[in-house]
Structure 1
Amino acid sequence: MTTLLKHHCWRVLLLAACLPGVAMAASIQALNYSSREVDYIAVENPGNTNSGGGGDSIRPYGQGGSICCFTVPEKWHADLKVVVVYQLSPDPTFHRETVSVPPYPDGKGGDIWLIVYEDGSVGAVVSLYGPSRPEWPGKIKGYPVPTKEYRDERRKDKLKRERNTLDFLEKRLQRDFYTLSDEKIKEKKEIIEFQKKIVQSLDGNVR
């Protein structure tokens, strides 16, 4: 093996993968089943902080992108563990949690999925199949879906913002009324009426 190839294997964390049948390169994906913002999530091998991969950020009830790369065994074994490194907003603390990886579905390796649950705990699975497939080995089946409580809170926040905008527009028109042309006044009143409809629509959904 050339020096260049050896360096390449080390750089992308695939030294083991240079030996056929021992390990494989896995893309890193992440799921957030919680109402908190995930500022950072990554994965490491236990006892080796230099073996990490990932670093995604995820919105509440969201999914991260696909990031290369991390090394996983080609075949699952009973004591397979990884370290999930994560930070949940607004807490600036970085946490490191060692978690067990469940058996690969159908015995096939795949992407490594890092998971944040509603209670703040984390997990990891290696799966060729996504969360919507029946073979998915994660504790929760399916992709993250916002709860009704979360959706209601988002609507309330949006209603508050839109009301503040309406209040600003009305006060601005009142302040500038005698300095504006009739055409400008009409234009601003139309904008205000449109904003009122937005507020009324949101208000009806929140109640």
Structure 2
Amino acid sequence: MLSLALAGLTLTGCAKTSGMETVSVTAINYTDQELNSYLFRSLDELGKVAGGEPVRPFEGGGMMCCYKLPAKWKPGIKVQLRYDWWQGDDKPRKYETKEFELPPYPDGQAGMLWALFYADGSVQVVSSNYAPGHAKWPGKIKGGPMPTLEYRRKMWQMDYDEAKSFEQELLGPRDESDSGWEKQWESDSRYGEVAVMKSFLGPKDPNYRKHVRRADQDGLLRIQAKLKRLEGTRP
């Protein structure tokens, strides 16, 4: 799930300047909540930020550019992290901002800056050229995120409910009125395959109606096959 490899891997920084290392940033979400954003803010350069992307539950983010760290570790290196969790489309965002003092770099050299979000609500920030699967990984969880059984069942149920709803829609009676076919034609003209739609004369074309009914039947068979697969693979 991580977009970064987890085992036996070292990751190099972006570039070096005098006494400083420009490094990429990333995040790992060990929780069952969606991380809406994370942003490292420089305490030394006003307006300098790095990060920003959402990270799905039990996944890792991509590498984002860039943040400057002292090339060699010393006590007292601090970074600021602002982040928020997905609340829903209709709810305001609730940002949290924290400062972290970086623990010693593995091997003493600055590496990628990681924001690590744990299921107990704690957050850790580390700088490391080693990914979570490496023996020298400094994160408190020695490996990548593993979805819980509860979360896997939740996602399975969402997938199953969506498929079941689609099946019920296809099993229900089709609106065979002229206005019903006109709505179907309008939708297919907008979202369907252009070449296919050009082969029909309009919503009253018997061949068009036959095509739609056949597509409904094919869709029903596919969704029922999916439901059968899901029923046999519930976590």
Q: Same fold (TM over 0.5)?
A: yes
Alpha-carbon deviations, 1:109-150, whole Å to 9, x = none?
111111111133222110111111111101111222222211
Alpha-carbon deviations, 1:68-112, whole Å to 9, x = none?
111111111222221111011116111101122111111121111
Superposed, 1:146-165 pairs within 5 Å as 146-165=147-166
Alpha-carbon deviations, 1:132-182, whole Å to 9, x = none?
111110111122222221111000000000000000011145x54xx9877
Alpha-carbon deviations, 1:48-73, whole Å to 9, x = none?
65332221211111211111111111
Aligned to 1:141: 142
Aligned to 1:196: 224
CA distance in 2, matches of 1:25, 1:184: 57
RMSD: 2.6
Aligned to 1:3: none
CA distance in 2, matches of 1:182, 1:193: 17
Equivalent AA in structure 1 for residue 27 of structure 2: A
Superposed, 1:70-81 pairs within 5 Å as 70-81=67-78
8 Å CA contact 2:115–2:126 kept in 1: the answer is: yes
8 Å CA contact 2:42–2:67 kept in 1: the answer is: no
Residues 183 and 95 of structure 1: CA distance in aligned 2, closer, same or farther (over 3 Å) = closer
CA distance in 1, matches of 2:211, 2:41: 64
Q: Residue 89 in 1 paired to residue 86 in 2?
A: yes
Aligned to 2:128: 127
Residues 183 and 38 of structure 1: CA distance in aligned 2, closer, same or farther (over 3 Å) = closer
Percent identity between the aligned chains? 28
Number of equivalences = 188
CA distance in 1, matches of 2:214, 2:36: 45
Residues 154 and 34 of structure 1: CA distance in aligned 2, closer, same or farther (over 3 Å) = same
Moved more, 187-196 or 65-74: 187-196
Normalised to the residue count of structure 2, the TM-score between the two structures is: 0.70
Normalised to the residue count of structure 1, the TM-score between the two structures is: 0.79
> Which consecutive unaligned segments of at least 5 residues does structure 2 have?
1-14, 182-205
Higher strand share: 1
Aligned to 2:59: 62
> Which consecutive unaligned segments of at least 5 residues does structure 1 have?
1-13
CA distance in 1, matches of 2:232, 2:143: 30
Aligned with 2:60: secondary structure?
coil
CA distance in 1, matches of 2:83, 2:155: 24
Residues 40 and 183 of structure 1: CA distance in aligned 2, closer, same or farther (over 3 Å) = closer
8 Å CA contact 1:30–1:56 kept in 2: the answer is: no
CA distance in 1, matches of 2:168, 2:36: 34
Aligned with 1:56: secondary structure?
coil
Equivalent AA in structure 2 for residue 164 of structure 1: S
Higher helix share: 1
